[in-house]
Amino acid sequence: MKILFLSHTPDNGVFKVGSHHLARELSKASLSVAHISTPRSLVHKALGKGASGVGDTGTLDEFGTLHVVPNLILPIQFAKAGRALGDIVKRFGFDDADYILVDQPLMAGYVESNRPRGKVVYRPTDTYSTIPAASRQSRLVNAADGVIATSAAVLQGLKLPDGVPRMVLENGVELARFMQKSQFERSGFIYVGAVDYRFDWESVLTVAEANPTERIEIIGPVSRSRDHLPTNISLLGSVPYEMVPSYLNRARVGLIPLNATDVNQGRSPMKYYEYLASGLSVLATSTPSLRERHTSQTFLFHGPGDVGALSKAALSAASPNLRGLQESTEQDWSAKASTLLSFLKSL
């Protein structure tokens, strides 16, 4: 069986996302898997944007997954780019893939231009409301043989026609990596992820003010910073994925501060179950997708008005969060991949 992922995030980048984990688990199950990420065009190169491509060679990881970040002349939004992407897929031998899983809506051009023989499954990870992603998403929905959303909120927002097979499959956790006994006395708060237009700085600053003797470590690339941060907030920048568990095992509370932008409403944050598997309590913005979950020592706030008090409650909760840790064992990526495969075979 051949499975082709058309993803928004390259495996050689800063973040590990759901498609990386699913590709790994499917490869471990002896399936033939290719993971092709958003192409880098000549325009991106000229502007110094996008991940570095790996040209015509691709790379095989230790599990046997083929990873490709194509180099194209035109950005993927253009129709000719969809045909060019088809040539690359064919060159790597995945034009006859049994299943094509698309989580990058801008890759709709591949499906439209090449009419693949396999089943097309749209796998939305966010709520898209702006052009061109929203229009490409609509076209993917019409072309898809099935839909797998990462939250019920994202699925409901698609307004799928009757009869389209669908399911919700949340992001999970690589248990073997994150479920480690802490070697430190736990203290303070931690955030792991991008600090960008989706990040709620106001709530984080309120947490810092409410807990002036507790450190707040922020790990990840920063594109939206603030001047004159309190002394108990540390911006550590990006760290390798392999090192993240060692940072989590020092903290008591994992932060997920999401602002009110539409894209946050349906997000299935990758760090949620990674925090729990590491024994942390979770202090997160109350969104529709997070309210669907019922895990121990998870404190949902609405904004700066209530986050201060809730941060103190999260900090004083039992540490490590053993019940939350146990609940996270049901969210391992191996189980997610098995559920995904059963859905694919039902199409």
- CATH number of the CATH domain containing 148: 3.40.50.11010
**Together in a domain, 183 and 250:** yes
**Together in a domain, 79 and 202:** no
**Together in a domain, 107 and 185:** no
**36, 72 Cβ separation under 8 angstroms:** no
| Strands, E assignment, 40-144 | 40-41, 59-60, 66-68, 71-72, 99-102, 119-122
**Together in a domain, 151 and 12:** yes
Q: pLDDT tens across 59-71, in order?
A: 999 999 999 998 8
CA 204 – CA 73 distance, rounded (Å):
41
- Give the distance, in angstroms, between the CA of residue 30 and the centroid of all CA atoms in the same chain: 24
Burial pattern 124-146, b for ≥16 Cβ within 10 A else e, equals: bbbbbeeeebeebbeebbeebeb
**Together in a domain, 164 and 311:** no
Closest CA to 5 of 44, 54, 38: 38
Domain count, the chain: 2
**Together in a domain, 191 and 256:** yes
Largest CA-CA distance found in the chain, in angstroms, rounded:
59
**Together in a domain, 78 and 138:** yes
CA 294 – CA 303 distance, rounded (Å):
20
Q: pLDDT tens across 280-311, in order?
A: 999 999 999 999 899 999 999 999 999 999 99
CA 146 – CA 3 distance, rounded (Å):
14
**66, 89 Cβ separation under 8 angstroms:** no
30: containing domain: 2-172+332-346
- Specify the residue for token string 């990758």: 270
Question: Which runs of consecutive H residues, i.e. helices, occur in 56-187?
Answer: 79-91, 108-114, 133-143, 152-158, 175-178
Residue 307, domain CATH: 3.40.50.2000
**Together in a domain, 166 and 254:** no
**Together in a domain, 157 and 14:** yes
Could you tell me the pLDDT band of residue 37, with boundaries at 50, 70 and 90? very high
Could you tell me the pLDDT band of residue 56, with boundaries at 50, 70 and 90? low
What letter represents residue 117's amino acid?
Answer: R
Q: pLDDT tens across 144-193, in order?
A: 999 999 999 999 999 898 899 999 999 999 999 999 887 789 999 999 99
pLDDT > 90 fraction of the chain, expressed in percent and rounded:
77
Could you tell me the pLDDT band of residue 47, with boundaries at 50, 70 and 90? low
Task: Collect contacts of 240-245 with beta carbons under 8 A, ≥24 apart.
Answer: 241/15, 241/16, 242/177, 244/178, 244/192, 244/219, 244/274, 245/177, 245/178, 245/180, 245/278
pLDDT > 70 fraction of the chain, expressed in percent and rounded:
96
Closest CA to 2 of 86, 140, 119, 84: 119
**Together in a domain, 325 and 338:** no
**Together in a domain, 32 and 93:** yes
Residue 54 pLDDT > 50, yes or no? Answer: no
**Together in a domain, 6 and 153:** yes
